[in-house]
A and B are shown apart, each in its own frame.
Chain A
Amino acid sequence: GAVVSQHPSWVICKSGTSVKIECRSLDFQATTMFWYRQFPKQSLMLMATSNEGSKATYEQGVEKDKFLINHASLTLSTLTVTSAHPEDSSFYICSARPALGTGVGAKNIQYFGAGTRLSVL
């Protein structure tokens, strides 16, 4: 099956530093990747949609200068939390939608990474 690798799984950083989270589709090409944030016992909140080779589309209320997204290749998207503060502590999840014609998975399914727990001290 389609596998999405997300790294790191857990990161602790000091307030004011930047943290980069990687999302890789291991066995398929993904023209579109999504970044979510999940608070404890809550649903996934979409932060942004990342398309390969173009700027990310951010959801309303998400600061694009705080959460930098880069989708430089068909298998890699990164989320950088800049100048992180304790309120940015959360669980971040990425997902990938296989490119059309790859024959991977069924239509319109997103494959999820295992998530990254970010703790900002």
Chain B
Amino acid sequence: AQTVTQSQPEMSVQEAETVTLSCTYDTSENNYYLFWYKQPPSRQMILVIRQEAYKQQNATENRFSVNFQKAAKSFSLKISDSQLGDTAMYFCAFITTSGTYKYIFGTGTRLKVLA
């Protein structure tokens, strides 16, 4: 079975500092996609970043970057220069390129950015 694990239920970081959220997954598939979604207090799910498993280069989106280690099945999210608006629940998600296109979500990490 495919699983996604986020081992940090809660984290906090000082404004302007850097924080890393961890995510590991388990699959026997070779082709898949990984995502980080942000859910702020409004509860709207917002895509933060996306990584294709066949690409070795780590994805980056402005202050957000990932460390994708395929062999270790690890997909961590680094947030640089943290801002108060980054306070949210962050979910790691996984999808295979075949089959039902269902997301498998991790349990989430609640991130609080402190002023």
Contacts and interface: CB of A to CB of B under 8 A. Distances in A.
Interface of A: 32, 34, 38, 41-44, 46, 49, 57, 91, 93, 95, 97, 106-110, 112, 114-115
Interface residues of B, number: 21
Nearest to B89: A41
Interface string B39-76: 00011110100100000000000000000000000000
A75 to B, nearest CB: 18
Q: Decide if the interface of chain B is mainly helix, strand, loop or mixed.
A: loop
Contact of A108 (B45, B95, B107, B108): B95
Interface of B: 33, 35, 37, 42-45, 47, 50, 91, 95, 97, 100-103, 105-108, 110
Q: Decide if the interface of chain A is mainly helix, strand, loop or mixed.
A: strand
A97 B101 contact: yes
B95 A57 contact: no
